[in-house]
Structure 1
């Protein structure tokens, strides 16, 4: 599988979003988890992760990324939830669209 140059912004809650990393070269995870064990494991596992307040909304993480990186936003991004594959879409579908680039 080819990794995409699309930058992945992943909003996460009490799950491990590792499956997304096989699809992309670069990413940032915003974690709103409330489970201390999960947070500890994620902190050990990922370098590009921010632990943020649990607002209950993934949109707050995406806007945080836009604000923090406004001067040099990636040309193409995937905004996704840590549990998107399997809950909202199939991995088969995701594998067909993860490299889409639209302006």
Structure 2
């Protein structure tokens, strides 16, 4: 569901992403979440939001990335993405883990 602070452009972007995901068979609730996250990341990259994570600003743009890191394939998720997920899950010892160790710990 589009946010109140989104511009008309961001609302169109949200609907476009959501519709594309639904056409590919993604459940509506998941499509809404992915679309909202993508739009919010673009807002952060363009200075339209009050706060932004470092990965939102410094990472490759969502449009350019286009599924290159969709949890599989060469490299998979970045170290920073894995670390942030470990932090959100409250995983102990994450600061001393490398990328492979984080992947294994999160897979458990």
Fold conserved between structures, TM > 0.5:
no
TM-score normalised to the size of structure 1? 0.30
Larger radius of gyration between Structure 1 and Structure 2:
2
Which structure has more RCO (C-alpha within 8 Å, separation ≥ 6)?
1
**Which structure's residues are more often helix, by fraction?**
2
**Which structure's residues are more often strand, by fraction?**
1
